[in-house]
Amino acid sequence: MAIVTLTTDFGDGSSYVAAMKGALLAVDGHANIIDLSHRLPPQDLLAAAYFLSDTLYCFPAGTIHVVVVDPGVGTERAILCVQWNDQIVLVPDNGCWTPIVRQNDAPPVVFRVEDQRYRRANVSATFHGRDIIAPAAGHLAIGVRPDQLGPRVSGWVRMMLPEASVTNWGAAGQVVIADPFGNLITNIPAELVSAGAAVTVGGQRVSRVVRTYGDAEPETIVALIGSSGRLEIAVVNGSAAVRLGLGVGTPVAVRRNG
Amino acid sequence: MAIVTLTTDFGDGSSYVAAMKGALLAVDGHANIIDLSHRLPPQDLLAAAYFLSDTLYCFPAGTIHVVVVDPGVGTERAILCVQWNDQIVLVPDNGCWTPIVRQNDAPPVVFRVEDQRYRRANVSATFHGRDIIAPAAGHLAIGVRPDQLGPRVSGWVRMMLPEASVTNWGAAGQVVIADPFGNLITNIPAELVSAGAAVTVGGQRVSRVVRTYGDAEPETIVALIGSSGRLEIAVVNGSAAVRLGLGVGTPVAVRRNG
Amino acid sequence: MAIVTLTTDFGDGSSYVAAMKGALLAVDGHANIIDLSHRLPPQDLLAAAYFLSDTLYCFPAGTIHVVVVDPGVGTERAILCVQWNDQIVLVPDNGCWTPIVRQNDAPPVVFRVEDQRYRRANVSATFHGRDIIAPAAGHLAIGVRPDQLGPRVSGWVRMMLPEASVTNWGAAGQVVIADPFGNLITNIPAELVSAGAAVTVGGQRVSRVVRTYGDAEPETIVALIGSSGRLEIAVVNGSAAVRLGLGVGTPVAVRRNG
């Protein structure tokens, strides 16, 4: 029973997600379908990249990930089948998967999905998730090999995530995710943050770095290394996004001797 | 392992959905439960009909669909078990399933769900989804036959969807769905739309008909045949609903020689 | 194939839910994961308690419930494995599960989850759902016994739900849930409500008690015994929360001879 995850920007409860599930189960009625998210911001490849970075590493070898954030649907962009870290990602060729590959990973092996035997009989111009990607996932789930879906390719669209930089006083980065609790998650990795450093968000000094939420009273603004291994700004039992009125893109500075 | 889909207006994360899943798994612990949608507009049978029309045809033979949009709960309306197209639909007798039956389909075979052996011990007056429909689905999943749930019936509530009409200058219809991307999906089928025809929405001329989103620049208003096989009005990489300020019910005209 | 349910306040489509699913499937790739809710109000233990009360009793013996509403994450609070009613609940020690135990149930048997073999290699300070609870659920799903996760404990945090009281004129309670339909669900049990009693909400007399929604015309305000076995105030085919402008915490009175 293959695990097939679904990540889209189609919206919770959208008929598009339901149709994709049907198209997948029509090929493999035993697939263990796991919804990851259907509320990525529409056509936001950067948000998709962060979402994949924060989740795919948790899944076991053999998992098949279907990722449909596809601003280019209806253009000639390819659909890729990516073998990475013993998992498979099916995704339009838009680069959002490329940041999940880490420096120590074996290089991904990538195929272009194009064999007509592994898609629905009539392919629409606007819904390749249902007509090409979901059936391809079903076929992989029943044992079709990636190299049967189409030719191996050596080039694809690459995406770079905005990176934090080291400065002579500490590190500079930005808020890259506001999570549903209102935590502001940055792109500054733990190794650039010393305990007790001072954190400034949007020019406003907010906090010293603590180890965990429990180190401060409710309603305190804190900065800590979150579960993604990156700096985040939080309000204990509250919402930093609401309290500070800040969101994605806000500059963040970490000063060693604040 | 039977596939059992769930479609309701109970709201995402509602305890009603959770209770239904429990009641279903209490009968068949191996059911492969697939959430289709829990955010249909409350008690909106027309929205339910469009949702089912756009999704059920994708599922394989043998799928059991549980559909609970039930403005009549607590009245004497029956609960139906519909055999259609080698699939089964369990649904209150409110007509929302009837538009999925197409002219070329074999006629549906319909039973009234009433055998007390296939329901929870205590049936509440307000939650037949948990007490009757979910357990019936569980029993079907473990091999109970539809004709064991209750007597076959020959009459049921029927619903008509508003249909587009042919005019001497083209076709007239309306917006019937605004999807999560803000695409305005109409009831005008592809066969009434010629390439290059002019489309008017709410009296406002918006676009010529193109083949796909990729045929125009971002932010352009386009009209095209969507994945449902019907005309839709879209903004490339944007929201037509927001841009035009229009929604469900807006009249749409397609002029052959606009 | 073990059934593992997930209930959190992480938000629909949150990467935290996705990461937990991965961490669980990494231990048991065959788990039948059932989403109950991911939209409990953040860190609201009372809402979690009502949600569990209204849902867990529906599930079959052997079900494993993962419940992560965890205002204390990062403090020294324990994580518990609760054996109750032939089911298992994995939950931080915050009391939200205690109201599900009914007077006639066998007393729960409770273990503290602490064996390092059953968690992820690196445990973060802020995400025990992914690093401890989900892997523990996976291990239970493949046959690890609760007593292998850690020592049995005899003390834990207890939570009391606000209870309705009997008065000389009837019963007094409060609204404890506003459901997605806008029904206002109270903590007044059926046995304190006589047919035809008069119901007052927030000082405003709203209705007599009826048997079901179908006993009144659309748009009528009604009071009835809901599917939870408690009094609720509803608007037929409408929203009582919107119509009355009331929500959780509003006092409710039931007068026998109104």
Place of tokens 């989900």: C134
User: Are residues A11 and B181, on separate chains, in Cβ contact within 8 Å?
Assistant: yes
Chain B environment of A32 (Cβ under 8 Å): 32
Residue type at position C123: V
Among C110, C107, C92, smallest CA distance to C155 is for: C110
Alpha helices (H) in chain A, listed in sequence order: 15-25, 45-53, 128, 134-141, 146-149, 240-244
The size of the B-C interface in CB pairs under 8 A is 104
B73 and chain C in contact, CB less than 8 A? yes
Among the partner residues A3, A55, A214, nearest to C15 by beta-carbon distance: A55
pLDDT at C71: 87
Per-residue model confidence as pLDDT tens digits over B103-113: 888 999 999 99
Chain B environment of C226 (Cβ under 8 Å): 124, 126-127
User: Are residues A213 and C74, on separate chains, in Cβ contact within 8 Å?
Assistant: yes
Rg (CA), chain C: 20
Among C257, C215, C222, smallest CA distance to C239 is for: C222
Among B6, B32, B234, B222, smallest CA distance to B133 is for: B6
User: Are residues C11 and A181, on separate chains, in Cβ contact within 8 Å?
Assistant: yes
Q: Which conformational region is residue C52 in: left (phi greater than 0), alpha (psi within -120 to 50 degrees), or beta?
A: alpha
Among the partner residues A39, A40, A58, nearest to C23 by beta-carbon distance: A58
The size of the A-B interface in CB pairs under 8 A is 104
User: Are residues B60 and A29, on separate chains, in Cβ contact within 8 Å?
Assistant: yes
Per-residue model confidence as pLDDT tens digits over A51-109: 999 999 999 999 999 999 998 887 889 999 999 999 999 999 999 999 999 888 899 99
Per-residue pLDDT band at B258 (split at 50, 70, 90) = low
Residue of A nearest to C11 (CA): A180
The ipTM estimated for the assembled molecules is 0.93
Task: Name residue A110's beta-bridge partners.
Answer: A82, A153
Per-residue model confidence as pLDDT tens digits over B119-169: 998 888 889 999 999 999 999 999 999 999 999 999 999 999 999 999 999
Chain B environment of A8 (Cβ under 8 Å): none
Rounded to an integer, what is the distance from CA A225 to the centroid of its chain?
A: 19
Mean pLDDT over the full length of chain B: 93
A58 and chain C in contact, CB less than 8 A? yes
The least confident of A11-25, A193-207, C9-23 is A193-207
Chain A environment of B179 (Cβ under 8 Å): 11, 14-16
Chain B environment of C213 (Cβ under 8 Å): 73-75, 126
Chain A environment of C73 (Cβ under 8 Å): 212-214
User: Are residues A226 and C73, on separate chains, in Cβ contact within 8 Å?
Assistant: no
User: Are residues B58 and A29, on separate chains, in Cβ contact within 8 Å?
Assistant: no
Per-residue pLDDT band at C258 (split at 50, 70, 90) = low
pLDDT at C207: 73
3-state secondary structure of B43: coil
Rounded to an integer, what is the distance from CA C10 to the centroid of its chain?
A: 15
3-state secondary structure of C165: strand
